[in-house]
Amino acid sequence: MSIVAGVDIGSTTAKVVILKNGKPVASSITYTGADCNAAAEDVLNESLGKIGADKEDLDYTVSTGYGRRAINFGNETITEISANAKGAVFLGSENGQIRSIIDIGGQDTKAIILDSSGKITNFVMNDKCAAGTGRFLDVIARSLEEPMENFVKLALSSKNPVTINSTCTVFAESEVISLIAKKVPKQDIIAGLHKSISRRVADLAKTAGVMPIVFFDGGGAKNPALKHGIEKELGYEVYVPEQPQIVVALGAAIFAHEKFERQQSQ
């Protein structure tokens, strides 16, 4: 019997997936906050608690995400790109073989291209700026004083999305403020923002060589308006797994499981 964990410390949230004998048995998500080590400990303990285990029972732990080295436990680290591919290939899609992954996280947007055997052939990430990421939508939602759920509903209800040109979070925010001043309906502004992000994400994916079937994950995949926008830009449907936020942690856990199995057989 083996128990392994994958810990994904993102810029906004920390995620854990626990595998027992290679099968996912528990997962948890929390906000990363200022102390990512504490967040990682908490979320790991919470997950382990769900199966009545504790840290002593862990055979192998792999950490990933931008804070992968900032935590003081774990056997190994891998990048979120490799982990994401592993997780997505493991989950698969109902529609057939996955050839691309689009991931919208808090701070990063990524496009990963896979070959027919599930190996990465190319990947592209957004620049250091936050436009086109989850953080961008958070900032704007806050300045429009709308909770995220409403925000998405409003986006889907608009018939006349405005065009937002700014490619920088700071400038886009001021562009939004000036649109409010011009009394442009809120839903049209929000829909315009989604459209602008979707276009940017789709362009990034196209430069990487995106092809169907596209697996859409990360926190951004929980936003149906983004999914719809990206599909419109790409011209085909994308597949969103049941729990898009934990795919990377799952990939890290699978990596941990494989590593542990290999060690045992030696």
Partner 1 sequence: MEEKEMEFENRYPFEAKIQVNEEKVREIRDNYNKISSFNLERLRKVKNRAKSIAYFENILLNKADRIKELKEFKARGGKVIGVFCIHVPEELIYASGCVPIRMSCGFYDTIAPAEEIIPKNTCPLIKSSVGFNFLKINPLYELCDVVIIPTSCDGKKKMADILSNYHRVWTLEMPNDRDIDMSREKWVKEIKNLKEKLERLTGKKIGKKNLKEWIKILHKRTAVARELFSLRKNKKVTINGRDSYLVLQTAFFDDPIRWINQVEKLVNELKANIQKNIFVAGESVPRIIITGSPLIWPNMKVLHTIEESGAIVVADDSCACGQYFYNPIELEDWSMKAMIEAIGDKYLLPVVCPIFTHSDDRIDRLLELKEQYKAEGVVYHILRLCQVFDFEYIKISKLFEKKSIPIIKIETEYSEEDAGQIKTRIEAFIEMLEARR
Binding interface with partner 1 (CB under 8 A): 66, 78-82, 108, 119-123, 125, 127-128, 209
Q: How far is the CB of 88 from partner 1 (least distance, A)?
A: 14
State which residue, 41 or 258, has the beta carbon closest to partner 1. Answer: 258
State which residue, 38 or 120, has the beta carbon closest to partner 1. Answer: 120
Query: Given the DSSP bridges, would you call strands 60-64 and 76-77 parallel, antiparallel or unpaired?
Result: parallel
How far is Cα 60 from Cα 53, in angstroms, rounded to an integer?
A: 14
Q: How far is the CB of 9 from partner 1 (least distance, A)?
A: 12
State which residue, 102 or 155, has the beta carbon closest to partner 1. Answer: 102
Q: How far is the CB of 66 from partner 1 (least distance, A)?
A: 7
Can the peptide bond before residue 213 be classed as cis, meaning omega within 30 degrees of 0? yes
State which residue, 128 or 182, has the beta carbon closest to partner 1. Answer: 128
Among candidates 169, 227, 167, 168, which has minimal Cα distance to 194?
A: 227
Handedness of CA 134, 47, 33, 256 (dihedral sign): negative
State which residue, 60 or 66, has the beta carbon closest to partner 1. Answer: 66
State which residue, 84 or 187, has the beta carbon closest to partner 1. Answer: 84
Which residues 6+ apart lie within 8 Å of 118 measured at CB? 85, 89, 98
Q: Which two tokens stand for residue 112?
A: 């990963």
What one-character DSSP code corresponds to residue 128? S
CA 43 to chain centre: 17
The b-or-e profile of 5-25 (16+ CB within 10 A means b, else e) is bbbbbbbbbbbbbbbbeeebe
DSSP strands (E only) in the chain: 3-9, 13-20, 23-31, 60-64, 76-77, 100-104, 109-114, 120-125, 214-217, 238-239
Q: How far is the CB of 48 from partner 1 (least distance, A)?
A: 27
State which residue, 95 or 263, has the beta carbon closest to partner 1. Answer: 263
Q: How far is the CB of 114 from partner 1 (least distance, A)?
A: 11
How far is Cα 21 from Cα 64, in angstroms, rounded to an integer?
A: 21
Q: How far is the CB of 118 from partner 1 (least distance, A)?
A: 10
Q: How far is the CB of 170 from partner 1 (least distance, A)?
A: 16
